[in-house]
Amino acid sequence: MAITHEELAGRLKAARENAGLTQQEVAEEVGMTRLAVVRIEAGRRAVNSLELAEMARLYGRGISEFLEEGVFEEDPLAALFRAAPGYAEDPKLKRELLRCVELCREATNLEGLLGLSSSSASLVGYEFKGLSSRWDAVNQGRYIAEQERNRLDLGTSPTWEVAEIVARQGVRVTEYDMPDAVSGLFFHSEDTGFAIVINRGHSRSRRLFSYAHEYCHLLADRDRFGGISHAGNRSELAEVRANAFAAHFLMPEAGVRSFLKTLGKGEGTRQNLEIYDEWEGVPAQRRTPTGSQEVRVHDVVGLSHHFGTSYEAALYHLLNLGIIRKDTFDALWESKGAQGPIRRAFRIPEWDEAFRFDLAEQLLSLGFEAYRREEISRGKLMELAEKTGVEREEIEEALYDAQPRPEPIEAILPGE
| pLDDT tens per residue across span 1-11 | 567 888 889 88
Q: Are residues 127 and 243 both part of a single domain?
A: yes
Give the span between the Cα atoms of 276 and 23, in whole angstroms.
Answer: 82
Looking at the domain assignment, is residue 37 inside a domain?
yes
Higher-pLDDT residue of 274, 316: 316
Looking at the domain assignment, is residue 359 inside a domain?
no
Structural contact between residues 92 and 98, judged by C-beta atoms closer than 8 angstroms: no
Q: Are residues 268 and 321 both part of a single domain?
A: yes
Starting at the edge strand found earlier in the chain, the sheet holding 182-189 runs: 171-176, 193-199, 182-189, 226-230
**How many structural domains compose the chain?**
4
pLDDT band at 290 (very low <50, low <70, confident <90, very high): low
Q: How far is CA 179 from the centre of its chain?
A: 16
Nearest to 161 by CA among 128, 118, 204: 204
Query: Which residues span the domain enclosing 390?
Result: 365-402
pLDDT value, residue 237: 95
Alpha-carbon distances of 235 from 243, 245, 340, 375, rounded to whole Å: 10, 15, 30, 48
Q: Are residues 241 and 265 both part of a single domain?
A: no
Is it the case that residue 405 has pLDDT exceeding 60?
Answer: no
Give the span between the Cα atoms of 80 and 18, in whole angstroms.
Answer: 10
Q: Are residues 131 and 238 both part of a single domain?
A: yes
pLDDT value, residue 27: 93
Give the span between the Cα atoms of 356 and 209, in whole angstroms.
Answer: 14
Domain boundary among 250, 285, 310: 250
pLDDT value, residue 17: 80
Looking at the domain assignment, is residue 152 inside a domain?
yes
Nearest to 19 by CA among 91, 126, 121: 91
Query: Domain holding 214: CATH number?
Result: 1.10.10.2910
The DSSP-derived string for 268-314 is -SEEEEEEE-SSSEEEEEEEPPTTTT---HHHHHHHHHHHT--HHHH
Looking at the domain assignment, is residue 150 inside a domain?
yes
Stated length of the chain: 416
Tell me the pTM.
0.79
Strands (E), 145-295: 171-176, 182-189, 193-199, 226-230, 270-276, 281-287
Alpha-carbon distances of 91 from 22, 43, 96, 149, 370, rounded to whole Å: 12, 28, 9, 38, 34
Higher-pLDDT residue of 144, 349: 144
Q: Are residues 244 and 262 both part of a single domain?
A: no
Neighbours of 32 (CB within 10 A): 18
Query: Domain holding 50: CATH number?
Result: 1.10.260.40
Which of the given ranges, 197-201, 271-275, 410-414, has the highest pLDDT on average? 197-201
Looking at the domain assignment, is residue 352 inside a domain?
no
Looking at the domain assignment, is residue 23 inside a domain?
yes
Q: Are residues 235 and 156 both part of a single domain?
A: yes
Q: Are residues 66 and 131 both part of a single domain?
A: no
Structural contact between residues 340 and 305, judged by C-beta atoms closer than 8 angstroms: no
Structural contact between residues 131 and 238, judged by C-beta atoms closer than 8 angstroms: yes
Angle at 209 between CA 260 and CA 175, to 5 degrees: 150
Domain boundary among 200, 222, 250: 250
Structural contact between residues 63 and 46, judged by C-beta atoms closer than 8 angstroms: no
Q: Are residues 147 and 243 both part of a single domain?
A: yes
Looking at the domain assignment, is residue 148 inside a domain?
yes
Angle at 199 between CA 83 and CA 158, to 5 degrees: 110
- Expressed in angstroms, the distance from the first to the final Cα of the chain is 73
Give the span between the Cα atoms of 67 and 76, in whole angstroms.
Answer: 19
Q: Are residues 124 and 234 both part of a single domain?
A: yes
Is it the case that residue 384 has pLDDT exceeding 70?
Answer: yes
Domain boundary among 73, 98, 129: 73
What letter does residue 266 receive in the DSSP assignment? S
pLDDT digits (tens, 9 = 90+) for 161-181: 999 999 999 999 999 999 999
